[in-house]
Structure formats: C-alpha cells, structure tokens
Structure 1
Amino acid sequence: MTERRILHAHWHLPHNDDADLYAQLLAVAEGITPRVQAIPPDAAHLDITGALRYWQRDSEGLAALLRLRTLALHGVQTTCAVAPNRMLATMAAAVTPPGMTTVIDAEDVERWLRRRPVAALYGVGPATAGKLRTYGLYTIGDVAETPMPTLVRLFGAATGRALHAHAHGQDPRTVQTQPIAKPLTADRAFEHDVLDPAEHRRALLDLAGEVAARLRDGQQAAGELALSVRYADRSVSNRSRTLAEATAHTQPIAATAYELYELFGLQRARVRAISLRAQDLRPSSEASQQLTLDPGDDRALAVEAVTDRARARYGPGTIRPATLAAKAFSPALTPSEGHRP
C-alpha cells in the first residue's frame, strides 16, 4: 500500500484578511493536486499521495514546486511540511522556518514526536498540558509510554484515547475538498433606540445562542467572532477577536461577545441594532475541545445538548435562559448569512 503523504502549506500573506489572494493561492495548490482542503485564512492541506507519481517528484520536490509557483505568481512565501497524516504535517509546519520545508517519513514519526513537549501535541491546550505535567508527563514520548487505561482514568474515555492515539502519531482524518465556508451572521434590531447596557447584553446573549445553535446544526465551529453595533445616527462600530480555540458552544461565544462589547466603551450610546458574526468557519471535526477542569462547563454542555434536542423537535426558542423571557428587540428580524450594516 502506498504511504499517504499530506502536505501542510502555510502562506505568509501581506494581509491576513486578503480573501482574494488566498483564493488564488488555493488555485495554485489545486494545480498540483485536486485534493486540497482550505484552512482559512492562510493555510491548506494537500493530499499529494497520487500527485508524486504524476509529477515524478518526491515530497520535498513537490513542496519546492508549490513554493516556487506561489512566489513567482503572487510574491508570497510558503512554509511547507509533509508527513503521513494531517496532524503530523500541521505540527511539523508549526516549527518549520518560514519559507522552508520539513519532511517526516513514516519511519521517523516516533523519533520526531517523542522529544517534543506535550503542549505541541494536537488537541492539547493549556489546561490539558498543565494536568499532564502534574502527572510527570512532560514530553509526547512520556504520554506515548503511558498505558491507555491510565490516560482514560485520568482524562476520561474520549480524551484519554485521543491522547494515546495522537502521542503515537495516529490521525485517521483525510483531506476533505470543500468550498470555503461563508461567515455566519445573526442580527438584532431594537424596537426603539436603547441606552441600557443590560438590554444590550441580553441581545448579545440571544445572538450568541442563535449563532452557536446554527453552527452546531451545520456541524461547524467558528475560529473568530466579529461584533457590530449600529447607532441612532446610522454610524457603525466594529470589533473582532480570534478565539483561543474554534467552538460552536454558546458559553464561550457569549463570553467573547461580552468582551468585544466592553471594548466599545459605550457611554449612554443610543444603540439601534447589534450584529454578531462567526468567521473562520471549519468543520466541527476540525475543532479540538480542550479538557476542562470546571464541572460547571460540563453542566453547561449537558444543558446545551438538551436544548438542541428540544429545538430540533419543537422549534427554536423552546428552551432559553430566563433573562431572555422578554425581549426588547424586534423578534421578527431573521438572521442573515452576510453582514447587514
């Protein structure tokens, strides 16, 4: 069986929000292999397994071809990493010098992984890394040597099995060719200009719940949130923030929306409408849910699952926070897929 070869390409764009240039770079990648998965705003996975024979090049040679084309056609430097799966290619690209290429062959996976810190492992965030270190597991090699039943006992079944598989370099995900997801936006207009910050925050909570529910319905996760506030004089303020980890859960989306709202520093502002937009969308399978040490988070996720089932059966608004029992904004305004200032 031919060894699978996945190339992770990271383009060093002059502007992170240059969607047109990013689309052109994806087209360059598709000229090398049709199996390209976009990772907005500046990266992609390429399955080059079959392309190696077509181009009669090895992995490093095909990466060099991609780097040459993107530089010659668009003046963009590309960092590449090639490995047997997506996880390893992404990890390798993160430590590859800009404009260079790293190649990891199947026989080198264990040696390359073992010496790396646990925080570098796919799906391991600060909380998980901290707990691993409390048990004396400082490197990926330490995790790989820990029996799976021990990891399951310490972190739970799903997280324990994932840690064990990832520490051994295993990642069954394939490159999924799909169009770039468009931002998802929910808008709310008040029935009259509102000065009360409490009413603004209620609207934000309602918007966060709606955006999160639509993300979960579409099996997507957001990597960035943008908040827009329109005032009585029709002027608009905008703020955006990249999330620590992509999510489709109401609690972190609402918390980020509140933080963005505070950045406006509104003082008796007459607000007419508020919009919350989820950007940098990706399949929910691409979003890693970090280990939580707060039992309250588990309860919130359990309530969210119940709410989703009720909504699927009885329609939107069946179960909602008590603070949203009465709304000061127009209930008739429906969400849009694009921004409406």
Structure 2
Amino acid sequence: MRAEPTILHVDLDAFFAAVEQRDKPSLRGKPVVVGGVGGRGVVATASYEARAFGVHSAMPTAEARRRCPNAAFLAGRFPAYREASTAVMELLRSISPLVEPLSLDEAFVDLAAADLPDLSVAGVSAFARDLKQRVSDVTGGLTGSVGIGSSKLIAKIASELDKPDGLVVIAPGMEQDLLRPMQVTVIPGVGPATAESLRRIGVHTVAELEEISADELVRVLGRAQGSNLYQLARAQDDRPVVAEREAKSISVEDTYESDYVDRKLLNALVERQAAKVTERLRKARLSGRTVTLKVRLHDFSTHTRSATLPGPTDDGRTVARVARTLLSELDTSGGVRLLGVGVSALTDWIQDDLFADTDEAADDPVDEETETALSAMSRRRVWLPGLDVVHDEHGAGWVWGSGRGVVTVRFETTETPAGKVRSFPADDPALRLSRPAPEE
C-alpha cells in the first residue's frame, strides 16, 4: 500500500452516448442509447438522460425501447470513439509514462511516475481538477470522473462515487472506512455467482466480509479467489500500473437479423471471419495457437468450441479450417443467429504449420448460390441510425432512420445548430457514408 494517493483512475462519462451528443446538437440534453438497434441488440451505453428511465448497459435493446421509447437509438460510430479515446490517452501519457488503459474510456495513471511537485491530497486534487479541464479541451467537451487513492482498487471505486464529472480523492488511511459500508459487489471479481456464495454465509457488505477468515473464504470460493478477496476486503492491493496491456485474443463476431441454417453459407461466413481475424493478427504482428468458435443458436443458447494448434499461426486458411471443423461439431439445424471466430494464446512469432493443407483446392469450394448470397451481403448499403453521411447538395449529417427504401438524414455537425431533416431514396447516388459502417 502506498503512503500517498498516487494512483488515478479516469472514466469518461457515458462515453459513446456523450460523443454522439457532442457531434449531434439536436441530441444534447436528450436520452440517447448506443448499441445494437435490431430486435436482438444490446445496449452498449446510455446517456444519463436515458438512465433516468432505467436504461443501462447490457440491457436488451427491446427492453430499453419499452422503458424509454422517445430515446435516440444509435448503432455506434467506433472511429469517432477511437479518435476521442486516443486524444485522452495521449494526454495521460504526456503526464506519466505509466498509463494502463482498461478500455476506450477508462485508464489508470501512476502519478508517482509523473513530475508532480505535490503528492498530498490537496496537491493531487488540484492536479485532477486541471486534468479534467484538459480532457474536456482535447475531446471537444467530454467529461470524465476521476478517482485517486493509494491503490487501483480504491482509485477505481472513488471514480464511481460522484458521477458524472466527479472528483474524489481518498486520503491514505481512510480506505477501510470507505469500503466497509459498501456491498461486496464493489470489489472487482465479485459477480452475481460469487455474491450469491457469500450471501449464503451471511456476507452482504465489505464489513461483513472482513469478519470472515481466510480459511473460510478459501473453502467457499477456492484458494485463488478466496485469498484475493481476503486481501481486497482489507484494502490491501499492491497491483502496479502496467503501461502496456498485451492483447489476450483477437476475435470477430456478427449477429444476424435472421437465423441462418444453410451449412455452406455458415462455413463461408466463418471463413470470412477467419480472414478478418488473421488480417488483424498480421497488422498487430501477432500469431496465435488457439482457435475459438462462438455460436448462438435460434433458442439463444450460446456454445463455444476451441482447438489448439501445434504452433502459432496467422494464416487465414488454417484458422478457417479449424473453425469449420469446430462448427461441424455443433447441431445448427435450428438456425444460427450469431457467429464468432477468435484466436488466442498470442505470440509475436510465427511457426509454419507443417500440417497445413497447401492445396487450396482441397477446401470445399463456395458454390454459385452461396457466393451470390455473400456478395449481396457485401454490396448492401446499410443505413444504420447514427452513422455519418454526406449529401452532395445538403452537406454533412447523420442517419436519423431508414426503412422501406427510404433513408432520413438530419443535417448537422458538432459546430452547427440543430439541423434540418430530409428524406431520400436509399439508393440515392448523392448520399454516401462519410465514415466506415460497423462490420456486419
């Protein structure tokens, strides 16, 4: 444990939704939900205006529509999110060499490695207020909540205490006073299953957890989790801020609007995903040994299958061959609504697959009907709500809605007032996407 509050956690508030409100003046101050917009979609982020109606992340989009029917439901624009995230991460790295990103919208910063003259509570508080303003400046007005403490555990919990746009600094020595009244789920790794196991032994709060012996926790939760929880309940957390977090896996998954049954089409979709995954591996100069297939069936049951190769590979045909084999082990006759292919056990070197089939013709060829279906999917113009578009006459805007051969656009940008709305034929050659659409 550190004697000074030198670990900072910053969490951008309602990040995806905040970026949308920043770039779409007509949505400022209104409920916005970002995520899957179809009947099987899931909420990724909800603005605070939408949260007032009970909408939250991981909620089915259908339920979110019932709770907040007047919200703007947007598909998401990951290039815009990455751009804002990059600006924040570059700012943090200009402050300290030890920055550990956890996701696009949150990171730990080790202030002990920064050139700060005053690491007292007052000193880091003043620094954090300045940092919050600089985050707003580099992102065009986004806010972030900041927590600072003597450990990662305390800093992350502190950043959640005064959202949005909050700042909480926990003085060294006050950690247990902070934790004791809280529910055990505040501790990282205590999910629903662990919380239920603790409930059965009468533990609901951190104070109650602190009364349980290490031996009892190991008996209930297992050695690794029990020992870890025993330490964290006492605010004992010496995890360092790690500047580079290595990717554990690279994957692609797609959810489909209709259930696919045709085995040749499913194989072709898996091959296309394998090609995307290995393209990303090569860009990252990585390879991997373990291939994983994820399948969600018509009844919403989800199945995963994995196989480990003799050596690492970044070859699309090898990954596709393994993924097809894994697919053949599952009964997909009722229909598939989600497919995913991933590669893990990553390394930065590649070993030739001595067992690979070097004859490309040995793979089942894609017949004309399947090729036509795949080509149609690739050519389809997807006008998802929220995507950036530009019209030759009206300029820049975003997709307000689409259907029945018509796309409706609101023409506005970050720098303009709320804009006018116009509708066009979906195949209007004057209308085009100005940023890449999300992958299917």
TM-score range, shorter chain: 0.5 to 0.7
Which residue identity is paired with 1:61? Answer: A
> Could you tell which deviates more after superposition, 91-100 or 174-183?
174-183
Larger Rg: 2
Where does residue 118 of structure 1 map in the other structure? Answer: 184
The separation in 1 between residues aligned to 2:136 and 2:12, in whole angstroms, is 10
Alignment of 1:244-259 (within 5 A): 250=292, 254=294, 257-258=295-296
For 2:328, the aligned partner's letter is T
Listed as ranges, the gaps of 5+ residues in structure 2 are 20-75, 331-361, 367-437
TM-score of the aligned structures, taking structure 1 as reference length:
0.59
Q: Using the alignment, how far apart are the partners of 1:322 and 1:21 within structure 2? A: 38
SS at match of 1:71: helix
The percentage of counterpart residues that share the same residue type is 22
Aligned to 2:137: 72
What is the deviation of 1:313? 9.7
Quote the Cα distance in structure 2 between the aligned partners of 1:201 and 1:118.
Answer: 43
How far apart, CA to CA, are the structure 2 residues paired with 1:179 and 1:29? 15
Q: Confirm or deny that 1:58 pairs with 2:123.
A: yes
1:161-200 to structure 2, matched below 5 A, reads 161-178=227-244, 184-185=250-251, 196-197=261-262
- Whether contact under 8 Å (1:37, 1:177) holds in the other structure is yes
**Among candidates 175, 182, 185, match of residue 109 of structure 1:** 175
**Distance in structure 1 (CA, Å) of the matches to 2:189 and 2:248:** 25
Pair 132,179 (structure 1): closer, same or farther in 2 beyond 3 Å: closer
After superposition, the C-alpha distances for 1:4-29 in whole angstroms (9 at most, x for unaligned) are 62100012342373111110111222
Counterpart of 1:86 in structure 2 is: 152
Distance (Å, rounded) in 2 between the aligned partners of 1:205 and 1:110:
50
1:58 aligns to what SS in structure 2? helix
Query: Cα deviation per residue 1:30-54 (whole Å; 9 max; x = unaligned)?
Result: 2222221122221111101243634
How does 1:292-331 map onto structure 2 within 5 Å?
307-308=307-308, 311-312=310-311, 317=322, 321=326, 323-324=328-329
* Inter-partner Cα distance in structure 1 for 2:200 and 2:156: 26
Structure with greater helix percent: 1
SS of 1:175 mapped into structure 2:
coil
Distance 1:72 1:170 in 2: 36
1:39 aligns with 2:102: yes
State the TM-score, normalizing by the size of structure 2.
0.47
In structure 1, how many angstroms separate the alpha carbons of the residues matched to 2:253 and 2:216? 47
How has the CA–CA distance of structure 1 residues 142 and 10 changed in structure 2, closer, same or farther, with 3 Å as cutoff?
A: same
Partner Cα distance (1:142, 1:148) in 2: 13
Q: Provide the rounded CA distance (Å) in 1 between the counterparts of 2:365 and 2:252.
A: 13
What whole-Å deviation, never above 9, does each CA across 1:84-137 have from its counterpart, x for those lacking one? Answer: 111221122122221121111220011111111011111111111112112100
How far off is 1:147 after superposition? 0.5
Does the 8 Å CA contact 2:181/2:207 hold for their aligned counterparts? yes
The residue matched to 2:12 in structure 1 has which SS?
strand
Mark the runs of 5 or more structure 1 residues left unpaired by the alignment. Answer: 189-193, 221-247, 264-299, 331-338
Residue of structure 1 in register with 2:218 after alignment: 152
Equivalent residues of 2:8, 2:146 under 8 A apart: yes
2:267, 2:153 → 1: CA distance?
40
Which one has more relative contact order, counting CA pairs under 8 Å at least 6 apart? 1
* RMSD of aligned Cα (Å): 4.5
Q: Secondary structure at the match of 1:28?
A: helix
1:27 aligns with 2:90: yes
- SS at 1:49 equivalent: helix
Contact between 1:140 and 1:167, CA under 8 Å: does it hold in 2?
Answer: yes
